[in-house]
Amino acid sequence: MDSFFNTIFNGLSSSSIILLTSLGLAVTFGQMRIINMAHSEFVMIGAYMTYLTQNLFRAISPESVFSLYYIFALPVAFIATFLLGSLMEWLVVSRLYGREIDSLLATSGISLILQQAARHIFGAQGVNVTTPSFLSGGITIGGCTFSYNRLFIILLVGLVLFGMWFLINRSSFGKQMRAVMQNRPMAKCVGINSRKIDNITFSVGSGLAGLAGCSVALLGSIDASVGQSYIVDSFMAVVLGGVGKLLGTVLGSSVIGFSGITFERFTSSSIAKALVLLIIILFLQKRPQGLFTVRSRSLDE
């Protein structure tokens, strides 16, 4: 039973990280149909923002409040990647709407530029973030240990998921965003500024990637390729769940996270990833639209 509960917790933790990374893609790819290969670099930037915030607190704050750096790192990572995403959309992505292959190539180039810039600034060797004191240790129940940092990530993902649901389904901006993505000409006819909506939507997706990087920073070393470990699983989660569906992204992330952890118990991590990919390919052969399908008059046409 201890092994079973440990597997469940590890699967939930893995799914949460994939989901946090996937939420940004669910916006940029699912809602906007932009294949942003630089999304993983926004995760990396969020992780490095956490590292820089830590160093700033270490330099100017007393030891007694040092652990609070992580609370400040969360909005710093979001704002930094939000602004960078806004700049990227304005300079590059805005010229590529409706050209998915071109967007893939352009954002792949930006991905390489950001990786090399990170190596030049921070070095090729990885850097580490000190776990805040309030996230050190864990809860031990029987033979199971639930670490505080992973519990915090699960809680953070829950809050972000609720925030995204509220933004998309209950806010005025969310209604305008869905209107633009489903029928752009009609949205313009009723006075919606589609360029502004495009820019903010892409920026929000980038900011969510920054939050994912802030979480990833708690789990291991940070280097220029840290985001690459999650980008493939995140794209698969969005496609598996159904492009454009928030609930589908949640279920897709859960399937990938729990399947990977379960297979790793009996095989190696490489074989586990291959098996998960094989299962997803077979599923999409039978149901290419994913678990859920977006229905709208624009799409039906």
- Looking at residue 1, what is its pLDDT? 64
Please give the angle made by the CA atoms of 65, 17 and 243, to the nearest 5 degrees.
135
Instruction: Tell me the H-state helices in the chain.
Output: 2-25, 39-60, 69-91, 100-122, 148-169, 172-182, 184-189, 194-216, 228-241, 246-266, 269-286, 297-300
CATH number of the domain at 2-300, out of 3.40.50, 1.25.40, 3.30.70, 1.10.3470? 1.10.3470
Helix (H, G, I), strand (E, B) or coil at 139: strand
pLDDT tens digits, one per residue of 99-151? 878 888 899 999 999 999 999 999 888 899 998 988 888 888 777 778 888 89
- In angstroms, the CA 96 to CA 55 distance is 38
**3-state SS class at 181:** helix
Q: What is the pLDDT of residue 2?
A: 66
pLDDT of residue 300: 42
Residue ranges in the chain modelled with pLDDT below 50? 297-301
pTM over 0.85: yes
In whole numbers, what is the pLDDT of the chain averaged over residues?
A: 85
Report CA dihedral (15, 217, 125, 114) to the nearest 10 degrees. Answer: 80
147 in Cβ contact with 138 (< 8 Å):
yes
Backbone phi and psi for residue 144, each to the nearest 5 degrees, phi listed first: -110, 135
CA distance 144 to 155: 19
Q: Domain limits of the chain?
A: 2-300
